[in-house]
């Protein structure tokens, strides 16, 4: 599993979920410190984003999270 990765004042951890039939659902956590609080958000992949490997799902989750962070800046 990938460790926390810093990105634009956030930290990201991809942790895609294993499904039946050897498929993977992209999944990631986003963490951001605001003052003395730590905000944590989960980003789930859609059913159309299910992948054949964990590595592929993790890559897709990381791209999706980075896109979300960039759009909300």
Answer left, alpha or beta for residue 24, where phi above 0 means left and psi between -120 and 50 means alpha: beta
- What pTM was estimated for this model as a whole? 0.86
Structure tokens, 58: 């993790």
| pLDDT tens digits for range 9-50 | 999 999 999 998 889 999 999 999 999 999 999 999 999 999
The domain in which residue 12 lies consists of 5-71
Counting the structural domains of the chain, the total is 1
- Phi, psi for residue 12 in degrees, rounded to 5: -125, 140
């Amino acid at each position: 599993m990938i460790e926390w990765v810093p990105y634009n004042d956030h930290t990201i951890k991809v942790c895609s979920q294993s499904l039946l039939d050897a498929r993977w659902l992209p999944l990631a956590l986003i963490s951001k410190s605001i003052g003395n609080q730590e905000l944590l958000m989960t980003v789930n992949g859609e059913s159309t984003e299910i992948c054949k490997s964990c590595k592929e799902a993790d890559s897709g989750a990381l791209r999706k999270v980075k896109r979300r962070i960039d759009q909300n800046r």
